[in-house]
């Protein structure tokens, strides 16, 4: 017998009924134990992109819809609470199709000539989105060039691959453009700063193992290292040494593994913030061998037709599938950030597929359950340290300690039946605890649910194939004894 949460709530509210009906199953809570003494990676956050002019869909929404959608994306109490925005630094000479236009439509005739930058104050809608994200407290702005402008490349085109003139194996009659490209990226960051948005991370490649008909620039890890050796001192010389250099946004995890080893052997691993990868050509499996952080910076279901389902037989676009995808990256692959591909997209593009979290159709929008899968992670704030979590049948759990001391526990119930889950701590004691929990399934989106707190255990119910997030606040005493080795 399975009780709905509403039935359970009714039973809880009516204790007389419970004692009068001994036949009602009182399921034993499954225990999830959090070990604050067991520390793993420090989380940077969760995010999305609105590159390729998708941000304009938000720019063009009228109030109150625009604010509603921004809340759905960034609000930490009512929405997904995203903490990272990934912007595309444009390289295209114009804005035709969905191209991202460059701030340098025409290069000087030689690399040391004075560049004639043109700033349109829009950056394909991404400046507006970034300013709004900033208002919500988002501080991780990942600016990522898909390519250098064509005039700096072997193929004189920002599209169709080609290499940056001056990296190993790429010589051009016009000279070595590495320094000019570094200066260009600094200029972009300065323009954002002048408009109130501090870029925090910088990437200069997107899928450099793939020649695309749109902005694309080929590079292996050794060639990327050639450029990083110029970019790093250029950031320092411009008082931008706090900006993290990310590399190289590979098409898939196995290519990212090659980048990691090439960047290390080229002596630049210590100049890099994160090794970045997508999951298209190979899915995340295991950890990258690097001392740098690991970010998954772009992935989505490119094939399925638009779906808002949480669970429909485990399809690639299902919210529940995405709950597991993000979980796998964070828990099994040491990721410190997971970034979806497009946050928003229209109906016409790519035959209305699932590469977006939210469908924006003129003045209307529709939210997929993939967004609510990400929302379940919103209680894990930037700077949180992942800690130990274990226990339960059919439960996948991940726990974190936020910088304010609160403990976030994110749990997926892989079983088909609902489960009562009791979260407790080892290695530390909570005093004066307050616990809250939210869950998502086919018919709920981060719905608040009642938590019972007794004997140091926070207990709540999660539906079958559902997800629940506990936020336990209170004073946490440091571990009294060293955790077991």
Ligand X SMILES: *[C@@H]1O[C@H](CO)[C@@H](O)[C@H](O)[C@H]1NC(C)=O
The answer to whether 293 contacts ligand X (rule: CB under 6 A) is yes
Query: Does 346 participate in binding ligand X (rule CB under 6 A)?
Result: no
CB-based contact 316:325 (threshold 8 Å): no
- Does 68 bind ligand X (CB under 6 A)? Our answer is no
CA distance 26 to 424: 20
Looking at residue 159, what DSSP letter applies?
Answer: B
Q: Which stretch binds ligand X (CB under 6 A): 248-256, 257-265, 286-294, 469-477?
A: 286-294
Per CB under 6 A, does 41 bind ligand X? Answer: yes
- Order of strands across the sheet with 457-462? 444-449, 430-441, 467-476, 407-413, 395-401, 385-390, 30-42, 419-426, 457-462, 452-454
Taking Cα atoms as reference points, which of 131, 151, 245, 107 lies closest to residue 191? 131
Nearest to 277 by CA among 291, 287, 266, 269: 287
**3-class state of residue 369 by DSSP:** helix
Give me the least distance between CB of 348 and ligand X, in Å please: 30
Residue corresponding to tokens 């119910």: 461
336, 402, 428, 461: which one binds ligand X (CB under 6 A): 336
Does 239 bind ligand X (CB under 6 A)? Our answer is yes
- Selected from 156, 334, 414, 436, the binder of ligand X by CB under 6 A is 334
Residue reference for tokens 């407790």: 424
- Of the residues 77, 97, 109, 213, which one makes contact with ligand X according to CB under 6 A: 77
CB of 273 to ligand X, least distance (A): 10
Q: How many angstroms separate the CA atoms of 138 and 123, rounded?
A: 18
Judged by CB under 6 A, the stretch of 28-36, 118-126, 287-295, 372-380 that binds ligand X is 287-295
CA distance 442 to 430: 33
What crossing angle do the helices spanning 126-135 and 65-74 adopt, rounded to 10°? 70
- Touching ligand X, residues 135-174 (CB under 6 A): 136
The answer to the question of residue 261 lying near ligand X (CB under 6 A) is no
Q: If binding is defined by CB under 6 A, does position 63 make contact with ligand X?
A: no
Site string for ligand X, 406-435 (x = CB under 6 A): ------------------------------
Out of 31, 65, 229, 287, which residue is the one contacting ligand X (CB under 6 A)?
287
Q: Give the shortest CB-78-to-ligand X separation in angstroms.
A: 4
| Closer residue to ligand X (CB): 31 or 287 | 287
CB 398 to ligand X: min, Å: 14
Is residue 321 a contact residue for ligand X (CB under 6 A)?
no
Q: What is the DSSP string of 244-291?
A: EEEEEEESSHHHHHHHHHHHHHTT-GGG-SEEEEESSSS---S--S-S
Instruction: Report the residue number, 59 or 309, with the smaller CB distance to ligand X.
Output: 59
Query: How would DSSP label each residue in 86-103?
Result: EEEEP-BSS--TTPPBPS
Per CB under 6 A, residues contacting ligand X are 41, 71, 75, 77-78, 136, 238-239, 287, 291, 293, 334, 336
């Amino acid at each position: 017998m399975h009780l709905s949460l509403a039935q359970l709530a009714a039973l809880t509210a009516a204790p007389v009924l419970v004692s009068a009906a001994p036949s009602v199953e009182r399921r034993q809570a499954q225990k999830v134990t959090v070990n604050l003494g067991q520390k793993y990676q420090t989380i940077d956050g969760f995010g999305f992109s609105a590159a390729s002019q998708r941000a304009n869909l938000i720019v063009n929404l009228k109030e109150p819809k625009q604010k509603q959608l921004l809340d759905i994306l960034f609000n930490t109490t009512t929405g997904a609470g995203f903490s990272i925005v990934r912007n595309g630094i444009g390289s295209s000479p114009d804005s035709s199709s969905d191209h991202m236009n460059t701030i340098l439509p025409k290069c000087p005739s030689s690399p040391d000539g004075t560049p004639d930058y043109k700033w349109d104050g829009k950056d394909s809608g991404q400046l507006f989105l970034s300013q709004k994200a900033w208002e919500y407290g988002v501080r991780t702005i990942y600016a990522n060039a898909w390519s250098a402008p064509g005039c700096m490349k072997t193929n004189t085109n920002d599209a169709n691959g080609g290499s940056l003139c001056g990296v190993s194996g790429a010589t051009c009659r016009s000279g070595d453009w590495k320094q000019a490209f570094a200066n260009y990226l600094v200029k972009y960051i300065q323009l954002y700063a002048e408009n109130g948005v501090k870029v925090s991370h910088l990437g200069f490649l997107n899928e450099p193992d793939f020649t695309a008909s749109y902005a694309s620039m080929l590079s292996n890890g050794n060639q990327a290292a050639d450029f990083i050796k110029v970019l790093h001192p250029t950031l320092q010389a411009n008082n931008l040494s706090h900006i993290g250099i990310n590399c190289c946004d590979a098409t898939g995890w196995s290519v990212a593994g090659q980048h990691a080893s090439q960047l290390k052997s080229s002596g630049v691993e210590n100049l890099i913030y994160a090794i970045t990868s997508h999951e298209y050509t190979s899915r995340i499996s295991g950890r990258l061998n690097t001392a740098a952080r690991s970010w998954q910076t772009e992935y989505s279901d490119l094939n399925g037709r638009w779906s808002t389902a949480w669970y429909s037989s485990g399809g690639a676009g299902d919210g529940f599938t995405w709950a597991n995808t993000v979980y796998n990256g964070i828990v099994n692959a040491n990721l410190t950030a997971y970034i979806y591909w497009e946050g928003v997209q229209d109906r016409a593009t790519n035959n209305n597929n699932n590469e977006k979290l939210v469908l924006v159709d003129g003045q209307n929008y529709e939210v997929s359950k993939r967004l609510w899968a990400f929302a379940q992670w919103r209680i894990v704030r930037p700077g949180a340290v992942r800690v130990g979590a274990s226990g339960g049948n059919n439960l996948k759990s991940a726990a974190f300690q936020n910088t304010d001391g609160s403990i976030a526990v994110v749990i997926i119930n892989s079983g088909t039946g609902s489960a009562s889950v009791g979260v407790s701590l080892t290695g530390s004691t909570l005093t004066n605890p307050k616990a809250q929990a939210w869950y998502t399934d086919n018919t709920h989106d981060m719905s608040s649910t009642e938590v019972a707190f007794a004997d140091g255990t926070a207990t709540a119910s999660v539906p079958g194939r559902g997800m629940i997030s506990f936020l336990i606040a209170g004073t946490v005493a440091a571990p009294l004894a060293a955790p077991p080795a």
